[in-house]
Chain A
Amino acid sequence: MAGVIAAGPEARAAASPRRRRRRAGEVLIEAFLRLNGFIAIAAIALIFVFLFKEGVQAFHTVAPLRFVQGTELDFDNVPQVVRMWQPVGQNPKYSILPLICGSFLVALPATLLATLFGVACGIYLAEVAGRRTREVVKPAIELIAGIPSIVVGFFCLATLATLVQQVLGTEFRLNAFVGALGVSFVIVPVVATMTDDALRAVPDELRQGAHALGANRWETIARVVVPAGASGIVASILLGMGRALGETMIVLMATGNAAQVTLNPFASVRTMTATIAAELGAVPQGGEQYRALFLVGSILFTITFLINLAAEMTVARMRRRLSL
């Protein structure tokens, strides 16, 4: 005992430079990691600031109302209200309505299709498939998520568009519906994997309880498991819709790119994303149209941000409820 006490100060003296060095290393590493964290956050924050800074400048030369609708003199010199996006010409028109219209005309049908297919896939993965099948089907669905959207866009343009026209007899070969089909293909894995996660988070006791009350497998799924995981499924659909609104290459290649205000899902449309992609390369930098495109980008960013936020809040609510 005495020996141990005697050795104490010596040992501490020997260890202390090493410990101090270790402390210094510790502080350095933490500082380095913190720096990385701040750089990453700064880069991300910059996107936000920069996009809106450029976008708001569009209002310096163009009255805000002109982004809703413009006026044009018709043949009798009577001013007519026009809702067009036509940024090149003597009287440039910047109405964003046809673009928003186009975006939703693609995104809503795509989300609807992806909900049907994706939720069914999720239910299949979580509740119906056996362990063996699941081990094969799940990676296969995840693999879909890895297919670059340009590939899907190319497939829509080269093969699917002709097929759809032959089957449905649409007026235009490239239209919103072809785009929606392509986009839904890309977001099905998003919906499917998140639905799967949500359903698997539902505690087994609920299933056992349902079975004990005499419910069969489908009744258990439809009346117990799916309602319990509903917020997760809703979140997956919202996230899918955010992706659908932001999808660029597929809609650029497959929707025909005609900016018009329409509610016909088989019309050629032009989305916000496709407008930016098609025009940014050709505009003079810092000009009116350049800023208008940034404004379109800011609006797109805001819409998707809000949708993603809603999805996140829904997931958070589900976590709270399931942990109770």
Chain B
Amino acid sequence: MKKRGRLEIIKDILRVIQENRNSIKQTPLLRKSNVSTLKFKEYSKELLEKEFIKETQNSYGEKVISLTQKGYDFLEKYKTIISFIEEFEL
């Protein structure tokens, strides 16, 4: 299996949140993102700090993760970013 790069992992995590109607609990997100627990903690910390995701409470009072506008922007621009990196050999 191909090893995913940092940007691809971030895209996959954000995509999982988006595909779950922008509201998912941490454990299923970890499982569906297909990364180790340690790596997941690093990525979720980074995504929270960069305000790509936010932690909120759903109607049952459970802590859930959802995308911010910046998270949506990343998903929208992901292909452009990858294409730019490949074109300029960066």
* Chains A and B form a bound pair: no
